[in-house]
């Protein structure tokens, strides 16, 4: 669902894998039919430390100004993801 939203969104959606080896990630992406160019790698999990996230998955809604407007910890529904994207779009108008 995240990949589908990312492909059709005017707002950039970045997917970041934290802590897994690139060969493990590549095998998963191939099995699921997901383009590998859509996934950024964070092997040392520095993103979690930088943003103060203590659980995965975590969805960060970051505006074009670089500010984190909202954080969702745990699995996210399509409705919640789309709502977060709309909130960012509204906040920056």
pLDDT digits (tens, 9 = 90+) for 15-57: 899 999 989 998 998 998 887 677 889 999 899 888 888 888 9
What is the per-residue pLDDT for 65? 83
Residue 92: band (very low, low, confident or very high) from pLDDT cuts 50, 70, 90: low
The domain limits of the chain are 2-91
Residue 93: band (very low, low, confident or very high) from pLDDT cuts 50, 70, 90: low
Nearest to 8 by CA among 71, 81, 90: 81
SS3 call for 13: coil
| C-alpha torsion sign, points 5, 1, 44, 85 | positive
Q: Which CATH superfamily is domain 2-91 in?
A: Glutaredoxin (3.40.30.10)
Full-model pTM: 0.79
């Amino acid at each position: 669902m995240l990949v589908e939203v990312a492909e059709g969104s005017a707002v950039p959606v970045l997917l970041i894998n934290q802590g897994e080896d690139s060969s493990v990630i590549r095998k998963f992406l191939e099995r699921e039919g997901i383009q590998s160019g859509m996934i950024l790698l964070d092997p040392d999990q520095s993103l979690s430390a930088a943003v103060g996230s203590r659980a995965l998955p975590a969805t960060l809604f970051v505006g074009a100004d670089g500010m984190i407007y909202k954080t969702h910890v745990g699995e996210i529904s399509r409705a919640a993801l789309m709502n977060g994207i709309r909130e960012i779009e509204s906040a920056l108008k």
